Structure 1
Amino acid sequence: MTFTGFYKKTRKERIEILKNLNLISDEHSHELLENITLDVDVAGNMTENHIATFALPFGIVPQILVNNKEYSLPMVTEEPSVVAAASNASKIIAKSGGFETKILDRKMIGQIALYDVENFEQATSKIEENNLYLLQIANEAHPSIVKRGGGACDISWKILEDDEVKFLVVYLTVDVKEAMGANILNNMLEAIKPYLENLTNSYALMAILSNYATKSLVTASCKIKIQHIDKDIEKAKEIAKKIELASKFAKLDPYRAATHNKGIFNGIDALVIASGNDWRAVEAACHTYATRNGTYEGLSTWIFNKNENILSGEITLPMPIASVGGSIGLNNSVKISHEILGNPDAKTLASLITALGLAQNFAALKALVSVGIQQGHMKLHAKSLALLAGAKAEEVEIIAEKLQESKHMNLETAKLLIKENKEKIK
C-alpha cells in the first residue's frame, strides 16, 4: 500500500494506510480514529488556571525525502493550504533527489550578565584562569547530563557597553544531548553565578539561557531539475529565474522578508508543535538569526544555474529541538507524531523541520511568481467559508465549488448557497 492519492482518501483510510505501513501502532491508530487527545487532567497539570483543552487540525505530509530516507511528517496547523503546499513541494523536490541536511552543531548557550565590575581586565583574566573549575562546578550542578555524554563544554565572555552602563557577559555552552535543555542550562548558570561574582568582584544582574541558539545550526539544501518544476521547459526556466529574484528581493526588503519568513514558519511551526517542542523558542532564534547581517533578511537562498538548468535552494537555521522533555512524554498526540516520524533523535528531528521549512518556502515562491498565491489559497479558503456558514460535512465540497465560481467569495454568499442547496434538495 502506498500514499498514492492520499489527499483524496477519507480520514479513516489515511489512518489505515499509516497503520499498514507500520508508521503507527494499533493503539495509536485507535486513538486517532476515536480522536482521543490530551487528557484533561494531564492538561490541568501542564498549565495554570486550566479550563479545558484546545484542538487544532492534525495533518500529514505523506512523503518527504531527506538524506536519502523517506519520512512522513505530522503537521499541526489551522491554515488551509499549508499541508497541501508542503506535500506538493516535497514531491517535486523528491524527483530531483530530495533534501540534504547538515548539523553544524547541537549545543545550547546561557549567559550571566555582570555589572559594577571594578576592573574588567583583571576580571576576564580571573575567568580565564578558572575556566576549567567553572566548567566543573557547572557539571556538578547537573551530573545526569554528564553521564549521558553531555555537559558544560565552553566558557567565553564579551564586554558590552553604552554611554551609561558596562556589562561583562559570560557565556556558558552546554551539550544538552536529546533534552530541550532550559532547566539543565539554568541550573548550571545559577551554580556558577556566585563564583563569577566573587572572581570578578561584581554583581550578577541575571543568569538565563539564550534562545538565540547559534550553537544549534542546521542547514537544509536541495537541487531541483527544472523539468520537475513544469513540463513546459521555457516556463520552468522563467519560474526558476523568478524564484532566484524573489530570494534576492527578500534579502533586500524587510517588508518582504517578514512575509517570506512567515511562509517558511508555516511549515516549521506546524511540525515543531506536532513534535511537542517549543515553537516560540524556535521562532525567537530564527527571527533573530535573520538579523545577523545588520538588517532583517529572508532566511532562504535560491540560485538558478542556467547552464545546468538546476534551481538550488538552501537554508540555515538555529534549531533548538529536543526528542525528550517538556510535553513530549505527556501528550499522546505528540507521542503519535514521534512514532510517525520513526522516533527520531534530536538532530534528525531538527533536520526534518529545517527541510520542511525549505519545502514550504519553495511552494510559496513558486506560487507567487507563477499563478499567484491566491489560487491554491482560495480553493481551501472556500471550504473554510462553507464550514463557517454552517455547511454540513456532505455539503462542503459542493458549496466550496460554487463559492469559487461566484462573483463574491464571502460568508454572505456561502450562506445563500447553503440555503439554495437545501431548497434544491427539498
Structure 2
Amino acid sequence: MTSRLSGFYKMTPKQRLDKVAEHLDGGLTEDEKKVLSGKRGFTTEDADHMVENVIGYLPIPLGVAVNFKVNGEDVIVPMATEEPSVIAAASHAAKFSYDAGGFTTSYSGSIMRGQVQVTKLKNPYTKMAKIYENKEKIIRLCNEQDRTLVSFGGGAKDLDVRIIPANGEEVLVIHLLIDTKDAMGANAVNTMAEAVTPLVEKITGGEVVLRILSNLADKRVVRARATFQNPFDGDEAKMDKFLSAHQLAVADPYRAATHNKGIMNGISAVVLATGNDTRAIEAGAHAYAAVSGRYQSLTQFERNGDSITGMIEIPLAVGLVGGATQSHQVAKLAAKILQATTAERLAGIIASVGLAQNFAALKALAGDGIQKGHMKLHVRNMAMTAGANDNQLDEVVRIASEQGKFGFDEINGIIQSLNQNEEE
C-alpha cells in the first residue's frame, strides 16, 4: 500500500473511497463502503444507545490525509473535522517528509494515573509511609476488579503518594499507576480507584473524597520526529521566518495557545474519527504544555541545512477497546483504514499528524500567511451560506480563485452575477 495518491483531491467522494479500499490490505466490503459513505450509516437509534436524551445526531465530514509514512509503513489517515484546510494541510506537510523516511515514533507505555484524595488526616507523612507499606495489598485489590485486563498483561503496577496543601490542610493524594494496554482505560482506572477507598480509609484514618483518573497522562507520552526536506527551495528569508515563528511559541504563551491549537486541529480530527475521547486528549495536551510552570509549544523545530527537523512530545491516552471505538461503526472502520492494531500504533500515527499539522501552519505563516490557502478552501462553505446552488459551487470557487479575493462580500457578488446571467 502507498499513501502517495496522486490527484486524490480531484476525485469524487466515491472515487476516493474506492481508491482507499484498493490500497487497503483486505480492502473494504460493499457494506463497509455504504457505512462510510452514509448510505447505511449512523442512525438516531444508534445515538440513543450511546448518550442520553437523544433527539438526533450531528454528522461531521470524514476525510483522509495522504502522503503519510509512519515507522516505515504508508498510512492513509481518516480525519473527522468541520474545518476546511486541515486535511489538506496535513497531507501537504507529510509530502515533504515522505522521501526522508516519514515519521518515526516512540511510546513511553500505556500507564494511566488514578487519583485517590484523602482528607482530614493527622500526621499525613506517617500516613504516606503506611500507604507505601501496604502497596502490594492495594495493588492486589485493584487487580481483582479487572481480571481480563490483568490477563492481557495490564492492571495496577505501582503507586506513588503525594502530599498537597489544599483548603487549609495537607491532603494525601495516592496515584495508582495502571497499565490499560490497548484501552483508553478511564472505566478500569475509575473502578479500581473506587474499589480501594475503604482500604485506604482504614489504613490512613482519613476520609477519601475524590477517586478518579487524571487526564494528564504523563506516563503515556508519544514522541514523533520527521525531516521536512527543503520546504522553501532555499529561500533564506522564509526559513528564518519559520524558525522565528516557532521560537515565539516557545517563549510566549499567547502565541503558544494558537500554535498548540493548530497541532490539535490534526490530532483531535483523528481522535474523533477513531471514536476516542477528544476532550481528554485536549485537556492532557494543554496541561502537558504547562508542566514546566510556563505554557509553551508541544513541538520543537531545528534547521538541518535546507531542511527542517521537527519533534512533538505529547500525552495520548487513546485506545482501540471499549466505548465508541467499538460501538460506532464508522470509528471501527477508521481504525481499519489506519490498520491500527494496537494503541501504540494508533498513538504514533496521531502524534505524527499533529507534527505535520504544525509544520504546515508554520510554513504558511512563513510564506503568504494562513488566510490565502485557508480561505480558498473555505469558499464552498461561504458560497453555500450565501445561497449558491449546488451547480454553481465549482464556478464560484473558480472565479474567486482567479480574482484572489475570498471575502463573503466578494463571494456574494459572484453568486449574484451568476444568478443574473442565468436569468438573462
> Following TM superposition, by how much is the alpha carbon of 1:147 offset from its aligned partner in structure 2, in angstroms?
1.2
Which residue does 2:102 correspond to in 1?
Answer: 98
Residue of structure 2 in register with 1:336 after alignment = 333
Indicate the residue corresponding to 1:324 in structure 2.
321
* 2:50 paired with 1:53: no
Correspondences of 1:196-345 after superposition (within 5 Å): 196-226=200-230, 229-230=231-232, 232-233=233-234, 235=235, 237-305=236-304, 308-345=305-342
Distance 2:127 2:194 in 1: 19
Give per-residue Cα distances to partners, 1:96-119, cap 9 Å, x unaligned: 211110001211111111111112
Query: Equivalent of 2:372, from 360, 368, 375?
Result: 375
Equivalent position amino acid for 2:325 in 1: I
Q: Which residue of 2 aligns with 1:14?
A: 16
Deviation string, structure 1 residues 346-404 (Cα, Å, up to 9, x no partner): 11000000000000000000000112111101211222111111222231121123334
The answer (yes or no) to whether the contact 1:86–1:267 under 8 Å persists in 2 is yes
**What is the rounded CA distance, in whole Å, between the counterparts of 2:218 and 2:36 in structure 1?**
37
2:357 pairs with one of 338, 360, 385: 360
- The secondary structure found in structure 2 opposite 1:75 is strand
Aligned runs of 1:5-154 on 2, under 5 Å?
5-22=7-24, 23-154=27-158
Q: 1:222 to 1:407 in 2, by over 3 A?
A: closer
- Relative to structure 1, is the Cα distance of residues 71 and 161 closer, same or farther in structure 2, using a 3 angstrom cutoff? same
Relative to the length of structure 1, the TM-score reads 0.94
Distance 2:215 2:118 in 1: 19
**2:373 aligned partner, one-letter code:** G
How many equivalent residue pairs? 419
CA deviation after TM superposition for structure 1 residue 225, in Å: 2.9
Using the aligned pairs only, state the percent identity: 37
Q: Distance in 2 between matches of 1:364 and 1:255?
A: 16
CA contact (8 A) 2:141 2:195 kept: yes
Distance 2:312 2:409 in 1: 42
Letter in 2 for 1:331: H
SS at match of 1:177: coil
Q: Which amino acid aligns with 1:112?
A: V
Give the C-alpha shift of residue 154 in structure 1: 0.6
1:49 is paired with a residue of what secondary structure? coil
What CA distance in whole angstroms lies between the structure 1 residues aligned with 2:257 and 2:139? 39
Could you give the per-residue CA deviations for residues 246-298 of structure 1, whole angstroms, max 9, x where no partner exists? Answer: 22110111110010001001100100000000010000000000101111111
CA contact (8 A) 1:63 1:73 kept: no
Which amino acid in 2 is paired with 1:108? M
- Counterpart of 1:182, as a letter, is A
Contact 1:378 1:404 in 2 (8 A): no
CA separation of 1:407/1:182 partners in 2, compared to 1, >3 Å: closer, same or farther? closer
- Is the Cα contact below 8 Å between 1:220 and 1:351 reproduced in 2? yes
1:3 to 2, 5, 11: 5
The answer to whether residue 389 in structure 2 is matched with residue 392 in structure 1 is yes
CA contact (8 A) 1:211 1:281 kept: yes
Q: Deviations over 1:160-213 (max 9, x none)?
A: 115712101100010111112111111111111111111111111111111110
Partners of 1:19 and 1:128 lie apart in 2 by 53
Contact 2:124/2:171 (8 A) holds in 1: no
Residue type of the alignment partner of 1:314? M
Superposed CA offset, 1:201-229 (max 9, x none): 11111111111101100000012232xx1
Q: 2-side partners of 1:143 and 1:98: how far apart? A: 39
State the secondary structure of the residue aligned to 1:397: helix
Which sections of structure 1, spanning at least 5 residues, go unmatched? none
The one-letter amino acid paired with 1:138 is C
For residues 68-87 of structure 1, the C-alpha deviation after alignment (integer angstroms, 9 at most, x for no partner) is: 11000001111111011011
Structure 1 counterpart of 2:189: 185
- What code does the residue aligned with 1:284 have? A
Closer, same or farther: CA 32–124 of 1 in aligned 2, 3 Å: closer
Query: Which of 412, 415, 419 is 1:418 aligned to?
Result: 415
CA contact 1:388–1:411 (8 Å) conserved in 2 = no
For 1:408 and 1:304, the matched residues in 2 are separated by 34
SS in 2 for 1:51: coil
TM-score normalised by the chain length of structure 2: 0.95
Of residues 215-224 and 398-407 in structure 1, the stretch that sits farther from structure 2 once superposed is 398-407
Seen in structure 2, the aligned counterparts of structure 1 residues 129 and 407 have a Cα distance that, compared at 3 Å, is: closer
Q: Which residue of 1 aligns with 2:346?
A: 349
Alpha-carbon contact 2:165-2:171 (below 8 Å) kept: yes
CA RMSD of aligned residues (A): 1.8
Q: Which amino acid aligns with 1:214?
A: D
- Cα separation, 2, equivalents of 1:319 and 1:386: 37
Q: Which secondary structure state, in structure 1, belongs to the residue aligned with residue 312 of structure 2?
A: strand
